Each structure stands twice: as structure tokens, then as C-alpha cells.
Chain A
Amino acid sequence: MSIHDLTPGGRPARWLYGLATGLLVFSGMAQLPMMKRYYLADLPGMAWSEDFFITSNLHYLAGALLLALMAWRLGLKARQAGGWWSWGPRGAWGWTLLAVLMVTGAGKVARNAGVYLPPDLFMALGLIHLGAAMAFIFTGLGSLIKGRKAEVQGRQTA
């Protein structure tokens, strides 16, 4: 039995977090007009990825999953101090980026629903969302690589 099985939610929670962030990254990148330009939409079964409305809906659904997971975690935390978590950001930087992404994302969601936002504010929200997403991706990749290296080193020294 590994720690992932013992963590509240176990492996399913970990995989759901990975699924939500993975889908958010992919569908977010697909909002840039690049899927067709770089032939990704030409790959078998990927034609849908050039449809901005489909990928936008996917972004919403993955966002809802992430919000549910985070709120679930918050609920557990409120009832149970401490505890080990095998998923989610591990440092203040990761949490800050996630918070920025959620706040700016909420602004964009409000605009999409028809709430008027001044153009300069909306542009700032979009650019901050994009910048924070890029930072989150690189931080996550760095963390994964670092974690994998530490795991390999741990096995070698064991």
C-alpha cells in the first residue's frame, strides 16, 4: 500500500487532479490559434481541437472539476488539521499561481456570461491569466522532473 492509497481520496483524487490540470492546460493552449497552424488538429481524432467553442467548453468542465477537488480538499482541511496530500501545489508559489488563475479565470467567465468589463481590465485579466498559466505549466514540469529525480535517487540509495 503506497502513500497515494492512504491519502484522503487516494489514487482517484490524484488522478482527477492530474486530469483536471492536464485538460485545463490543453484546452487553454487550444484557445490560442495554434492547433490548426501547427497541424495538431490534423492528427487522427484531433480535428475537434481546432474548434474554439469545444475547447472552451472543455476548459469550463475541467475548471469545474478542479474547483470541486479544491473545495473538497478545503472541506477536509476544515475538519482535519494537517495530513499528507499527494496532489495539488506543494508550495506558496504554486498556490499563488493557482489562485491568480482562478481569480482571472472568474473574470473571463463573467465576461463570457455577458457581464460588462472595461476593455483595459478585460485585456489585463486575459494577459495575467495567460502569463500565470505559462508559469504554472513550467513550475509543474519543473516539479515533476525534480520529484522524479528525487524518487530515482531515493531508490538508488535505498
Chain B
Amino acid sequence: MAQNISRRAFLKTGLTAAAGLAATGLALPQAVQASQGGELCTLLDLSKCIGCEACVEACREQWQAGLPDPAGPIPRSLPPRVPIEDWSRRKDVQDRLTPYNFLYLEHLEVPHQGRQVELHLPRRCMHCSNPPCSNLCPFGACQTESNGAVHIEQDVCLGGAKCKNVCPWHIPQRQSGVGLYLSLMPQYMGNGVMRKCHRCLPLLAQGQAPRCIEACPQQVQSIGPRREQEGKAEALARDMAHKDGASPEKWRDYVYGLMENGGTNTIYVAPLPFKEINAALLQDHQERAEKDRAAEQKAGRRPEAGNLGRPHLGPVKDSMADAKNLTLALAVAPLAGLAAGLGRFLGKTRKLAASAAPPASPAEAQKGGLS
């Protein structure tokens, strides 16, 4: 029988874990606790990561067991446009994002200045400052907390995957056959639930560090108030650029997440430019995607479209920039309308209205209008 993960259960699991962590003294630094109420940002120093995957294991241990599996046959959508995405029998997959794996590691060899640089990158949700997934979710299932954590309410999500579509990195992953849609019209609306990293929200609420940060033996990640972390990221990136032989002005090439999508609460700093890292990353993704698609076809499943749960590290413009600009249009439009109504245009229409006869019949009077 499938488990239902409710907000209460989610928080309960988290609180139990938080109590355990508190007992071991693994809590957020005081400065971070004091900043509760503001956005918290994680900073990843990739020069420290050794690729041990302790963070991945910690995340899976903490959250995977509490995720519900489909109880029975998964309803097919009508018309059959939306594929069933069932990862419940592939929970062991941890080399990409899945609905049961919120964090994975990229292991790369990046050609740089005539040598191969070994690099390991933890990848998960970027927790954008102004996240399109949360803003554009039609049901409010994808939510942004005041501490900057972006999470998906499993009780509310219908699995339409709009969040994945509008995410510049296509982070959220769908598990079909679970969630609210089963109680509505499963064949015609929704297709499961979307899942992704929630940055250990229940632990954060208790002043505890996310598991990936706490489990890391190299202290690759740190968490703190966004402004502080931005300053640290810049200082670190300047240092990296200097060590790499680049001019100090080039420090932005060594940092990712600071400006992408209007700014995220996950900032990476690397010892080589992200342009080079992304080129190696995309090549690696292409090779792995071909293998994955071949395996999917062999297993009789419809091959997945898109980036196969492996986000890029390329430039990303602010997804919400148009919406911000159009807000001005919305603010100006009524003022312009009012001015026109009160202005000279009125003179002409008043004369016209004064000479107009009343409606000839109720039927004619009813013509037009929407409501």
C-alpha cells in the first residue's frame, strides 16, 4: 500500500531528524540561525569536492524512504500524450535527478590550459531568488519560503510538470501514479507529483543544516545569509581567477548562480571558467543520454525527452524579466485610460452621447458584452 506523504508527515519526518541532529550538535551556525527570516544561500567551493558522494547518500537516506510509491497500476492519460513516468522500481539510480534522487554528482575531466582538470559537482535545485517554477505553478503547489527554499507541496501537486518546463535547468522530476490527481480525473488531468530538492526545509525550520552540507567531509558547501554568501563568493572567485592566471575583472567567469536566472540561492565557485566546465558537461551529458535512451528502449519504455535529469551550467537570462517589465505596463495602463477618459477625448464622446437616442428595444440593449 502506498504511503501518503502529507505536509504533517513531511514535517514530522524532518522534525525527528532535526531532533537527532540537534542531539549530535550538528546545527546551523549561530549567524545563520540569527538570519532566519531572510534568504539563505548555499555556496559551493568546487575546488574542495573530492566526489565521494557522501552528500548524495545522506540526502537519499534522509528523504527517499518517506516518498510514496504507486499503489497499483498507473492510469494512462487520455489522449495518450503524457507518458507515465515511474521511477519507483529504479530508486537505485543516482547518477541523475529522479523523483527519488534529489541530488547527484557530476564527475568531469575538463580540458583546461593544455591539461585535464578533474572536477566534481553536486547538482540539485538552484533555489532561485525569484523562481519561475513557484511563480507560475497554477495551483500554488510549488512554493517559496522566506528563507529562500523552493519546495513542492506533495499534497497539492498534480504533476502537470509546468515547473519542470519553465525551470531553466528542468530540475523537478515527475513520479506518476501518486498524489492528488488520482482522486480527481487521473486520465484527463495531472500525471503524478513533481519532486525535487527542498533544501531540507523541515531541518532548516529547526535551525539545522541541510543533510548534504552536514554530511560533507570536505566542507564543500556553506550556508548563510544571501548577502554574506555573495560577498564570500566574489572573494573566492577573485582568488580562483588569480590562481588561474586570469585578470581580476574575469572573476565572474569562475562563479555560477550569482546572476543566472536573476540570481539563485545556490552559488558555485570553480577553479576554472564555467564556460569550459559547461562545454565538457554537455558533451558528457550527450554521451550518457544516448546510453540512457538506448536502455529505455531496450526496457520497453518510451525514451524520455529533454535533458534526462542532468542540468547544464550555461548562461541563463532572468526568466521573470519580461514579467517584471510588463508590470510597468500594467501600472501605466489604468493611468493612461483614466487620463483619456477625463481628458479631451471626453468632449467628443459627450457630444455624441448627448445626441444619441436611448436603446430602441431591450433586445438591442442586451446585444454585446460578456457578462
- Are A and B bound to each other? yes
Q: How far is the CA of A144 from the CA of B225 in the complex (A)?
A: 55
Q: How far is the CA of A85 from the CA of B368 in the complex (A)?
A: 10
A-side interface size class: 35 or more
Give the contacts of B327-353 with A (CB-CB under 8 A): 327, 329-330, 332-343, 346, 349-350, 352-353
Interface core residue of B165, B352, B359, B367 (most chain A CB under 10 Å): B367
Inter-subunit contact A122/B340 (CB<8 Å): no
Number of B residues whose C-beta is below 8 Å from A?
Answer: 68
Q: How far is the CA of A36 from the CA of B355 in the complex (A)?
A: 51
Number of A-B contacts (CB under 8 A): 229
Interface mask (A63-100 → B, CB under 8 Å = 1, otherwise 0): 11101111111111111100111111111011001100
- State the Cβ distance, A60 to closest chain B Cβ, in Å: 4
Q: How far is the CA of A56 from the CA of B129 in the complex (A)?
A: 19
Inter-subunit contact B371/A90 (CB<8 Å): yes
Cβ-neighbour of B338 out of A32, A75, A127 (below 8 A):
A75
Q: Closest residue to B137 on the A side, CB-wise?
A: A126
Inter-subunit contact A39/B333 (CB<8 Å): no
Cβ-neighbour of A36 out of B81, B333, B334, B341 (below 8 A):
B81
Inter-subunit contact A84/B166 (CB<8 Å): no
Cβ-neighbour of B138 out of A76, A86, A126 (below 8 A):
A126
Inter-subunit contact A37/B353 (CB<8 Å): no
| Given A3-B364, A52-B165, A91-B371, also A78-B342 (CB < 8 A) | yes
Interface mask (A117-146 → B, CB under 8 Å = 1, otherwise 0): 011001111110010000010011001101
Q: Closest residue to B357 on the A side, CB-wise?
A: A6
Q: Which of B89-97, B142-150, B279-287 is the interface stretch? A: B142-150
Interface set of B (CB-CB < 8 Å, partner A): 77, 79, 81-82, 129-130, 135-141, 143-146, 153, 156, 160-162, 165-166, 262, 319-320, 322-324, 326-327, 329-330, 332-343, 346, 349-350, 352-353, 355-371
In the complex, besides A17-B370, A114-B262, A136-B370, 20 extra interface pairs with C-beta distance below 8 angstroms are A6-B357, A9-B349, A53-B322, A56-B136, A61-B326, A64-B326, A67-B330, A71-B333, A74-B338, A85-B369, A87-B369, A89-B371, A112-B320, A113-B327, A114-B129, A126-B140, A127-B140, A143-B369, A144-B369, A151-B363
